[in-house]
Amino acid sequence: MPRAGAFIHSDEIERYHYPPECPFKTERAAMTRTILHSMGLYICDNTCEMAPRPATEKELLLFHEPEYLEALRRISKGDFRADDLYRGIGTSDTPVFADLYPYAELAAGATLVGAELILSGKADFAFNPSGGYHHAFAAAAGGFCYINDVVIACKILEAKGRRVLCLDLDAHHGNGTQAAFYGDPDVFTVSFHESGKTLFPWGGFENEIGENRGFGYNVNVPLPAGTDDDTFVFAFGEIVPPLLNAYKPDVIVLEIGMDILSVDPLTHLSMTNNAIADTLPLLVKCGIPLLAVGGGGYHPEHTARGWALAWTILCGNEPDAAGTIGMGGMFLGNAEWSAGLWDGRIYATDENKIAVRSQVENTVTAIRATVFPIHRINVQ
């Protein structure tokens, strides 16, 4: 029987936008749906579109401080105060705008709809491209993020007795999510991201592995600038399958940031969406319910195409069929494709690739040496 899935989106959420000068474009979610519709890949057997709802106050308080939420509501009404800067609000990364709070609570609610569908057994997988705000802390905003939907969803799943693997593939380290579960063994956080040596939020190093009861339940795989698909897939294969087998999660919460792409203007990786196409099937085939969210991605067109590709894989469509239906396809260079969903692959063969691969191999070795023994994973 085909796996049941839900794409969380609505016309209502398309009404909201960050300021025009902000690199974060909410329009990416609608663009994803448009691409899928145009290719006949949006809704098929056993999948549906589900409308989001605003997250409730009770749900938001599972993670966020009440004073912080009140500040967000006040700011959305035009009452911005100087001390709000101490809450991380009012910078170029977290601008003040009228739709700030209603959008944040609706985008968060969309992720919670996905969690509810999985908990009820009505969906085996759900995708909210408007989610993934992993930089928000309990009482502070950061990196375009005001409400951390990822944390709240994980807490709801955890409260229902589910063991959660929170797997973050965004180019930016999910510092807010890490902080929320750093001492919690019931939510295992794993993040693949560009190294904090070269990218905001300047952390997420391999020696950050949790504390107290959560020691060994937080894994960071920092990737050097210039990391390509092959090296990413290598690291993913060395780290994720053994942890899945050892931890045996009941649910996977997956952040699919498309700022990993070589064309992204804010990051420094050399990847294409083939990195997602090469790794996501492993998660699908393991049969664990999966809640996916969007995240970063600052080249809107390529981000939307990457998420459209991710949706087709979640739905179980064959890559060749999904990527080329009705399309000829012409490679234009550096991850530019005239048709279809797949990027042209980039093959790095210079000395930089050798250096990058060596750094990633050292990181993998360090994680296997420090984290794997905690979970009785054979490192031989």
Q: What is the pLDDT of residue 317?
A: 79
Residue 268 lies in a domain: yes
Give residue 84's pLDDT. 96
Among 173, 193, 299, 302, the active-site one is 173
Q: Could you report the per-residue pLDDT of 5-24, keeping only the tens digit for each?
A: 999 999 999 999 999 999 99
The pLDDT confidence band at residue 349, using thresholds 50, 70 and 90, is confident
The pLDDT tens digits for 47-87 are 999 999 999 999 999 999 999 999 999 999 999 999 999 99
Residue 79 domain flag: yes
Residues of the domain holding 77: 5-375
The answer to the question of residue 253 being in a domain is: yes
Span 279-334, pLDDT tens digits: 999 999 999 999 999 999 999 999 999 999 999 999 997 555 444 443 433 333 33
pLDDT of 2 reads 76
pLDDT at site 351: 83
173 is catalytic: yes
Tally of structural domains, the chain: 1
Note whether residue 364 is domain-resident: yes
Secondary structure (DSSP) of 26-95: THHHHHHHHHHHHTT-SS-TTEEEE---PPPHHHHTTTS-HHHHHHHHHHHTT---GGGGGGT-SSSSS-
Whether 380 maps to a domain, the answer reads: no
Instruction: Determine, yes or no, domain membership for 189.
Output: yes
Output the CA–CA distances (angstroms, integers) from residue 293 to 76, 113, 130, 362, in the order listed.
Answer: 24, 12, 7, 30
Angle at the Cα of 18 (from 169 to 144), degrees rounded to 5? 40
The mean pLDDT value of the chain amounts to: 93
3-state secondary structure 282-318: HHHHCCCCEEEECCCCCCHHHHHHHHHHHHHHHCCCC
CATH, residue 116: 3.40.800.20
Task: State the pTM of this model.
Answer: 0.95
Instruction: Give 344's DSSP letter.
Output: P
Name beta bridge partners: 187.
Answer: 164
pLDDT tens per residue across span 143-173: 999 999 999 999 999 999 999 999 999 999 9
Q: Is the pLDDT of residue 359 over 60?
A: yes
Q: How far apart are CA 349 and CA 85, in angstroms?
A: 45
Instruction: Classify residue 66: in a domain, yes or no.
Output: yes
Whole-angstrom Cα distance, residue 166 to residue 160?
Answer: 16
